[in-house]
Structure 1
Amino acid sequence: MSRKVDSVKDINDSKETWRLAVRIMDVWSVVNNKGIEHLEMIVMDSLETLCVTVATTLKFVVSKYGWFYYGCTRCSSKAPNPEKAYECSCGQKVEQPIPRYKIEIYVSNGESKYRFVFWDSECAAILGMTAEFMHNSMVENGEDDPMVYPDELEMLLNKKMTFRVKVQPTFSQASVWKLCDDEAFVKEIENDYIVEDNQSKTEYAKLVPNKENLETSAQTLSASGENDPESIILMTPAKDVVIADKGEEVDFKASGATQLSGTNPSKKLKIEPSS
Structure 2
Amino acid sequence: MKMKEDGKHWVCGEILAIDSYRDWYYISCKGCSRKVKSEGDSFRCGACNTTEVVLRYKVNVRVMDETGHASFVFWDKECTALVGKTANTLREEIEKKGAGLYYFPVEIDALVGIEGLFRVQTKSETISYRGVPTFSVIGMNCDPAVVGLYKSKNKGKAVEDEDDF
TM range (shorter): 0.7 to 0.9
Partner of 1:177: 138
Q: Which amino acid aligns with 2:155?
A: I
TM-score (norm 2): 0.79
Partner of 1:119: 75
Q: 1:160 to 1:81 in 2, by over 3 A?
A: same
Q: Which amino acid aligns with 2:32?
A: C
- What are the equivalent positions in structure 2 for 1:74-93 lying under 5 Å apart? 74-81=31-38, 83-87=41-45, 89=47, 91=48, 93=50
Give the alignment partner of residue 145 of structure 1, picking from 91, 101, 119: 101
Higher relative contact order (CA 8 A, sep 6+): 2
Q: Which has the higher strand share?
A: 2
The answer on whether the counterparts of 1:59 and 1:157 sit within 8 Å (CA) in structure 2 is yes
1:131 aligns with 2:131: no
Q: Deviations over 1:237-260 (max 9, x none)?
A: xxxxxxxxxxxxxxxxxxxxxxxx
Q: Deviations over 1:91-145 (max 9, x none)?
A: 47333x2221111111111351111111111000111100011111111222242
Give the alignment partner of residue 113 of structure 2, picking from 158, 176, 182: 158
**Count of aligned pairs between the two proteins:** 154
The answer on whether the counterparts of 1:162 and 1:180 sit within 8 Å (CA) in structure 2 is yes
Q: Which amino acid aligns with 1:128?
A: G
The answer on whether the counterparts of 2:27 and 2:54 sit within 8 Å (CA) in structure 1 is yes
The answer on whether the counterparts of 1:123 and 1:156 sit within 8 Å (CA) in structure 2 is no
Give the alignment partner of residue 155 of structure 2, picking from 194, 198, 202: 194
Partner of 1:17: none
Structure label with greater radius of gyration: 1
1:70 aligns with 2:27: yes
1:167 aligns with 2:125: no
CA distance in 1, matches of 2:140, 2:85: 17
The answer on whether the counterparts of 1:126 and 1:155 sit within 8 Å (CA) in structure 2 is no
Partner of 2:16: 58
Q: Percent same amino acid at aligned positions?
A: 23
In angstroms, what is the RMSD of aligned CA positions?
Answer: 2.7
Q: 1:62 to 1:48 in 2, by over 3 A?
A: farther
SS across alignment from 1:156:
coil
The answer on whether the counterparts of 2:37 and 2:45 sit within 8 Å (CA) in structure 1 is no
TM-score (norm 1): 0.50
The answer on whether the counterparts of 1:76 and 1:120 sit within 8 Å (CA) in structure 2 is no
- Runs of 4+, deviation exceeding 4 Å: none
What is the deviation of 1:191? 2.2
